[in-house]
A = this chain, B = another copy of it.
Amino acid sequence: MKVHELPTPALLVDVHAFDRNVDKMAQRWPGRSLRPHVKAFKSTALAERLAEAGHKGFCCATVKEMTGMAAAGLGEDLLLANESLDLHRLTPIVAADRARITVAVDSPETIEAAAAAGIREVLIDVEVGLPRCGCDPADAGRLAELARAKGMEVRGVMGYEGHLMREPGDTKAELVERSMAVLLDAHAEVGGDIVSGGGTGTWDVNTWVTELQAGSYCLMDSEYVPHAPGFENALFALGTVISRSAKGWAVLDTGLKCFGMDHGDPTVVDAGDCWFVSDEHLTFGIGEDATVAVGDKVRVVPAHVDPTVSQHERLHLVDGDDVLEVWEVDLRHW
> Chain A interface (Cβ within 8 Å of chain B)?
7-9, 39, 61-62, 82-86, 106-107, 109-110, 127, 131-134, 136, 162, 240, 242-247, 249, 251, 253, 256-257, 260-262, 275, 277-281, 283, 293-295, 304, 306-307, 310-313, 332-334
Contact = CB atoms under 8 A, between A and B. Distances in A.
A262 B82 CA distance: 25
A134 B85 CA distance: 50
Given A251-B132, A279-B39, A109 B261 contact: no
A39 to B, nearest CB: 5
Contact of A109 (B136, B256, B295, B332): B295
B132 A82 contact: no
Nearest to A254: B334
Given A261-B262, A262-B256, A133 B242 contact: yes
B246 A281 contact: no
A134 B253 contact: no
Given A247-B131, A262-B261, A294-B109, A7 B281 contact: no
A222 to B, nearest CB: 16
Contact of A61 (B249, B277, B279, B283): B279
7 contacts: A61-B280, A131-B283, A132-B283, A136-B246, A256-B260, A256-B306, A260-B261
A162 B334 contact: no
A247 B132 CA distance: 11
A133 to B, nearest CB: 4
A193 to B, nearest CB: 24
Contacts of A261: 260-262, 307
A245 B127 contact: yes
Nearest to A313: B333
Contact of A131 (B83, B85, B245): B245
Contact of A83 (B7, B243, B247, B279): B243
A132 B294 contact: no
A86 B7 contact: yes
A168 B316 CA distance: 44
Contact of A334 (B9, B249, B304): B9
